[in-house]
């Protein structure tokens, strides 16, 4: 399963509006995958937001979409300590963003990663630790270790 990579982490977003955050997150992905046009990435994210906000509440947003021409699933994490008005379902500012971009043809894996990210960010302890993390390594370790810990628990193995 896809994991978050260090070059796809923005420890402090510069943007202060919904549209600007989406563009800033898309820019990080564009830097990793220059074959996909930045405007196309932004358009996919904006069109998804028009269907309904991906601000799921508790200071979390999971912007996502399917991008023609993309070869693999990509994750990007962004944090705003000051918070961004994102039309979240609870009308509170969003501090933690996990963007998921997927090729159009892999619906099963796409839904699995969306569910995994949702489960991870529902945990108030994980959210707090992500907000307090002081470096990229800590964010990676929290995100990726927690994911593998959850997978072990889901497979019925004894948690260590």
Q: DSSP letter string over 27-50?
A: HHHHHH-TTS-HHHHHHHHHHHHH
What is the number of residues in the chain? 160
Summarised one tens digit per residue, pLDDT across range 129-143 is 999 999 999 999 888
Give this prediction's pTM. 0.88
Nearest to 58 by CA among 9, 110, 126, 137: 126
List, in sequence order, every beta strand (DSSP E) within 11-122. 55-57, 60-61, 64-66, 74-84, 94-102
Helix (H, G, I), strand (E, B) or coil at 99: strand
Residues forming the active site? 64
CB 78 within 8 A of CB 114: no
Summarised one tens digit per residue, pLDDT across range 72-116 is 899 999 999 999 999 999 999 999 999 999 999 898 999 999 998
Summarised one tens digit per residue, pLDDT across range 36-67 is 899 999 999 999 999 999 999 999 999 999 99
Tokens of 27: 């820019």
């Amino acid at each position: 399963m896809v994991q978050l990579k260090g070059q796809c982490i923005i420890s402090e977003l510069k943007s202060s509006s919904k549209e600007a955050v989406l563009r800033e997150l898309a820019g990080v992905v564009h830097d990793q995958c220059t074959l996909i046009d930045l405007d196309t990435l932004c358009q996919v994210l904006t069109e998804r937001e028009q269907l309904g906000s991906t601000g799921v509440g508790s200071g979390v947003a999971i912007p996502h979409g399917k991008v023609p021409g993309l070869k693999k699933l990509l994750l990007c994490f962004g944090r705003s300590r000051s918070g961004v008005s994102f039309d979240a379902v609870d009308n509170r500012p969003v501090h933690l963003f996990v963007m998921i971009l997927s090729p159009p043809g892999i619906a099963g894996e796409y839904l699995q990663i969306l569910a995994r990210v949702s489960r991870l960010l529902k945990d108030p302890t994980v959210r707090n630790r992500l907000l307090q993390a002081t470096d990229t390594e800590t964010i990676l370790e929290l995100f990726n270790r927690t994911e593998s810990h959850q997978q072990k628990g889901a497979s019925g193995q004894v948690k260590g």
